[in-house]
Amino acid sequence: MKNDLKQALSKVRDFEDPKISLEQYITPPALAADLVFTAYMQGDIESKKVADLGTGTGILGIGAELIDGEVVAVEKDDSALELAKENAEDLGANIDFLQSDVEEFGKSVDTVVMNPPFSVHSDTGLDFWEKALEVGDAVYGISPRGARDSIKSLVRSSNHKLEGVQEYEIGLPPSYGFHTEESRETPVDLIITKRST
Ligand code: SAH
């Protein structure tokens, strides 16, 4: 099933003209499939309300819908939203798209899936985490390795518990300046948290 998902998600079209300021880059299909499948195995996708924050190409939300999540996908950028809608249609995923800043999103959901901006220059990534911990009972989010401690401390000051951290390496466009001298790959974490109260 995970392989089928990965194959389906490899058909998602990437940003044609990514906006660097919004940190638009696609989650690699293998990682996207891993994230939603991990959530599925923990009972957090099937028949659950799932929010994809900063849906971009739509890949995470589409993945969650294909394995029976009820998905709302939030994105503030017009062209990304158009792309996500086209991708969802092409892959037969029925998603409720919401054009909005993540800050404004206030709906409670069972599960948040996200690959938010990595933000070297701002706190946008952490704002996404704050929102996710507020609206979701379970959170599955990708973040750059360097943000792990900041995210952990956000989790500690919330009513979520850290459930797991899985390490990956992904290729990002060089313009984002995240890879190290030794490698063109960027170390990232899949961070999983659950509400404990
Ligand atoms: N998870 C997606 C995209 C990741 S890039 C994928 O794998 O394709 C991050 C996305 O968040 C971009 O599409 C960007 O436009 C969007 N974004 C950035 N800041 C935002 C905000 N404040 N509110 C909503 N969307 C935002």
Q: What is the pLDDT along the chain (197 residues), one digit of tens a residue?
A: 889 999 999 999 999 888 888 888 899 999 999 999 999 999 999 999 999 999 999 999 999 999 999 999 999 999 999 999 999 999 999 999 999 999 999 999 999 999 998 876 667 789 999 999 999 999 999 999 999 999 999 999 999 999 999 999 988 766 666 656 556 788 999 999 999 97
Ligand 1 centroid–CA 68 distance in Å is: 23
The CA 112 to ligand 1 mean position distance, Å, reads 14
Domains and CATH numbers, the chain: 2-13+21-195 (3.40.50.150)
For CA atoms 94, 160, 1, 114, the dihedral sign is positive
Is residue 161 within 8 Å of 155, Cβ to Cβ? yes
CB of 59 closer than 6 A to ligand 1? yes
Going by C-alpha positions, the residue among 45, 39, 117, 118 that lies closest to residue 75 is 117
Helix/strand/coil for 141: strand
pTM for this model (two decimals)? 0.95
Q: State residue 179's pLDDT score.
A: 59
pLDDT at 25: 87
119 lines ligand 1 (CB under 6 A): no
Measured from the Cα of 15, ligand 1's closest atom is: 8
Ligand 1 centroid distance, CA of 122 (Å): 14
Exposed (0-12), middle (13-18) or buried (19+): which is 181, by Cβ within 10 Å?
exposed
Give the integer Cα–Cα distance in Å for 3 and 37: 10
Question: Is the beta carbon of 56 within 6 A of some atom in ligand 1?
Answer: yes
